[in-house]
Structure 1
Amino acid sequence: MCGRYATTVDPALLAVELDAIDETRSGTRVPEERHEAANYNVAPTDPVLAVVSRHSREHPDDAPRRRIRRMRWGLVPSWTKADEQGRPVRSAPLINARADTAASKPAFRTALTRTRCLVPMDGWYEWVLEPSAAGKAVKVPYFMTPTDGSRLYAAGLWSVWHDRAASSSSPLLSCTILTTDAVGELTGVHDRMPLVLGDGQWDRWLDPDAEPDAELLAGPSAAEVAGIEIRRVSQRVNSVANDGPDLIAPADPVGPAVGEQISLL
């Protein structure tokens, strides 16, 4: 799965790199106050950057353009009811969706067909249960990130939610990250991983006029993720209150190496 990750890119820079339109200052709402570009400890319901491809409202016949938007991490389906304060009613944020079953799930199937996105990240975290020097098992965090310092782009789904009782309120954009079976050395950390896509796959995934590509949903091969480093990091990341580049710095070992852990979370 993917329950925590890091992202440090500025949306304006991302727009330049991807030849996209920066729409992060648009009139949509997110429920949190955190809008800084760098977040080394992204948690559910945080505002995050997402890349979409949409037609222009003014010129719908033009080719779709990539756009950078800020969304709430945790998909809110459009049919979700509002509470008395005009907020979506949801027991738990839908931060992940299984790529192999999303098409059959009411919360995800419409988004899979119509509104797919990419979620840029420097890497993601997972926790492995390992024995400590004292003999007691502890949860040890690992950070999965490209060895060359580049960014990862995870396949995602997004949605637009409105409080139907308040027509003047701003829409809420939200997203979820698709997960797939882990492959290669990543299986030593968790049995699931984000569905990462290479740059040659982005346009096929984002195309708003095409059905989702079954080949992309099948997940990457072990060779395609061989450049991802598995890095043990500080347990400071355990608290969502902590942030900063020290969270992704290599930490000293406290137990057996990855692949020798006693169980997985």
Structure 2
Amino acid sequence: MCGRYATTADPAALAVELDAVNETGEPVESANYNVAPTTGVLTVVARHDHGDADSPVRRRIRRMRWGLVPAYAKDPGRSAPLFNARSETVATKPSFRTSLRHKRCLVPMDGWYEWQTEPAPGDTAGRAVKVPYYMSRGDGQRIFMAGLWSVWHDPKAPTDPPLLSTTILTTDSVDQLANVHERMPLILPPDRWDAWLDPDSLGHPDLIRPSLEAVAAVEIRRVSPKVNSVRNNGPDLLAPDDGERAGEQISLL
């Protein structure tokens, strides 16, 4: 599962880093250390120029709503946001299968959070708290997750701009990440990016598998329970926590 993450990427710098076109219209992106579902997030896609299938494929930086809205949805607010998609079933789920064939993306982040239920410090009544852990690369490099995206047009306002939305693929946790949560986001190493993003390919099942090398580069640390509330934001959320403070009830949305 991946329901909260941190990012310091700005679209202009990301476009330079990936030799991509910045289509967000934003020169600078404020860092967000507590990204939650329904937030607008940066994604990387690869597409031909609009209406020209013979034009060269270019990487493009786009902002999308985190929580995929299928093209057939009547109202994006009527159900819980589809912010994760299980890689094992994504090819057969109506909400995701079309995106898997035609609209795949990367979701860049600095790291992500998971929670464990642990006994409250000093509590003798058997109460438990949600304790947050942060997963990021030990070398500080950005992580790119496999994602899917969709285009939704409001049937009540057909002339309005479409809503772009995205979801992050998850898979069974492996290696040290299995000690934190049974599921993990699917990290895509750079050697899989082109094949994953290729708009002229239907994708390949071999791409949807954990990279043991990418997972081995991830470090885990306990962090402040302040991240449990989406109202809190800032680099202090990533500071190692000594575990003496009690966790707080997690609030995803």
Please, what TM-score do these two structures have when normalized by structure 2? Answer: 0.91
Match of 2:57 among 43, 51, 64: 64
8 Å Cα contact 1:195-1:219 kept in structure 2: yes
1:194 matched to which residue of 2?
A: 185
8 Å Cα contact 1:41-1:240 kept in structure 2: yes
Match of 1:134 among 115, 122, 130: 122
8 Å Cα contact 2:9-2:29 kept in structure 1: no
Confirm or deny that 1:78 pairs with 2:71: yes
How many positions carry a matched residue from both structures?
241
Match of 1:228 among 214, 218, 225: 218
Match of 2:158 among 155, 167, 178: 167
Gaps of 5+ in 2: 246-253
Change (3 A) 1:117 1:217: same
Q: Secondary structure at the match of 1:76?
A: coil
Instruction: Tell me the distance in 2 between the aligned counterparts of 1:89 and 1:232.
Output: 33
8 Å Cα contact 1:160-1:173 kept in structure 2: yes
Mapping of 1:1-265 within 5 angstroms? 1-25=1-25, 36-57=29-50, 59-82=52-75, 88-135=76-123, 136-221=127-212, 223-254=213-244
Q: Secondary structure at the match of 2:107?
A: strand
8 Å Cα contact 1:44-1:73 kept in structure 2: yes
Gaps of 5+ in 1: 27-34, 83-87, 256-265
8 Å Cα contact 1:48-1:71 kept in structure 2: yes
8 Å Cα contact 2:11-2:29 kept in structure 1: no
Deviation at 1:60, TM superposition (A): 2.5
Letter in 1 for 2:144: Y
8 Å Cα contact 2:224-2:240 kept in structure 1: yes
Identity between Structure 1 and Structure 2 (%) = 61
Change (3 A) 1:187 1:254: farther
Instruction: Tell me the distance in 1 between the aligned counterparts of 2:52 and 2:196.
Output: 22
Instruction: Tell me the distance in 2 between the aligned counterparts of 1:25 and 1:144.
Output: 30
Instruction: Tell me the distance in 2 between the aligned counterparts of 1:167 and 1:10.
Output: 31
Q: Secondary structure at the match of 2:226?
A: helix
Instruction: Tell me the distance in 1 between the aligned counterparts of 2:157 and 2:120.
Output: 54
Q: Secondary structure at the match of 1:80?
A: coil
Q: Secondary structure at the match of 1:102?
A: coil
Instruction: Tell me the distance in 2 between the aligned counterparts of 1:213 and 1:154.
Output: 16
Q: Secondary structure at the match of 1:247?
A: helix
> RMSD of aligned C-alpha atoms?
1.6
Change (3 A) 1:163 1:133: closer
